[in-house]
Amino acid sequence: MQQSLVLTPAKWVTEDVLTLVTGLKPGMIKRAREQSWMLGREYAHVSSDGDPKPNNQCMYKVEAIEKWIDSSAKRQPG
């Protein structure tokens, strides 16, 4: 018998999970972070000592990014 497991993403996720749940590719995530997303709204730097620096890992807020995707869908060319 085959079993399956369904996971619900947390509020904030790593880039790997963000890619899985949204289909966004790493290059697009990087560009959106640099050009469109707001620090603290769509993404945040995290560190184990509680004092994040710009070069620390980023976590992404799935709900905010889904809203960003929805707003982009409304502005399609043609």
- Residue corresponding to tokens 């079993």: 3
pLDDT at 75: 86
The DSSP code for 55 is T
Query: Among residues 74, 45, 77, which one has the least CA distance to residue 60?
Result: 45
pTM for the model stands at 0.85
Contact 61, 15 (CB under 8 A): no
**Token output for 49:** 């000592």
Instruction: Give 10-residue mean pLDDT values along the chain (78 residues).
Output: 87 96 96 97 96 95 96 85
pLDDT at 31: 97
pLDDT at 8: 87
Q: Which residue(s) pair with 44 in the sheet?
A: 59
Domain 12-73's class? mainly alpha
Instruction: List CB contacts of 50: < 8 A, sequence separation 6 or more.
Output: none
